Amino acid sequence: MTEASVASAGVVRVESSRKRVRVYLAGELVADTPRPLLVWERPYYPTYYIPMDGVTAELVPTGRVEHSLHRGDGEVYDVRVSRLTASGAAMRFPESPREELRDAVRFDWDAMGEWFEEDEPVYTHPRDPRTRVDILASSRHIRIELDGITVADSDHPHILFETDLPA
């Protein structure tokens, strides 16, 4: 089965990512994590799920639940920052049959103001790591040593992300 046919058949694929992902609403930080999940809920492209410990905005339960055959019951939340509330803009699957989704939140992409991978803005949806190589500007501190000698040290590196390279 191809990736597209797997997703179109309703099977959800989940992969971890090493990119730092930040989400903003009305200029305020909603979430920040160095370990997002890429989840293919539909064919062709993934969406981000953010671990709960990376969520900084208030999630207000709406009482609505949406069922997904492969993700379970999704609890819908409003996302509140000091100046704005985005109605129904987040979903959690705390009892998902997919264990890795239980402690993560999916934010509605279009309801959020800005998304960043490292320090680069992302538009429309996350990039599929299986179809591209990314080099992203970052503000992470990177130090490389060879035989105990520092050969590179930067607070503004450009980081290469290529699928299946060792961490």
pLDDT per residue as tens digits for the range 13-71: 999 998 999 999 999 999 999 999 999 988 788 999 999 999 999 999 999 999 998 89
Confidence band for 7, pLDDT divided at 50, 70 and 90:
very low
In the chain, the N- to C-terminal Cα span, in Å, equals 28
163 pLDDT higher than 90: no
- Distance between CA atoms of 115 and 19, rounded to whole angstroms? 12
- Distance between CA atoms of 22 and 36, rounded to whole angstroms? 10
Give yes or no for a contact between 118 and 19, defined as CB atoms under 8 angstroms apart: yes
pTM: 0.79
Residue reference for tokens 């980081």:
159
For 105, the domain range is: 3-161
18 in a domain, yes or no?
A: yes
When divided into structural domains, the chain yields a total of 1
Tokens of 69: 């055959």
- SS3 percent helix, strand, coil of the chain, rounded to 5, is 5, 50, 40
37 in a domain, yes or no?
A: yes
Instruction: Identify the CATH number of the domain in which residue 127 sits.
Output: 2.170.150.40
Closest listed residue to residue 11, CA positions, set 36, 32, 53, 42? 42
166 in a domain, yes or no?
A: no
167 in a domain, yes or no?
A: no
82 in a domain, yes or no?
A: yes
58 in a domain, yes or no?
A: yes
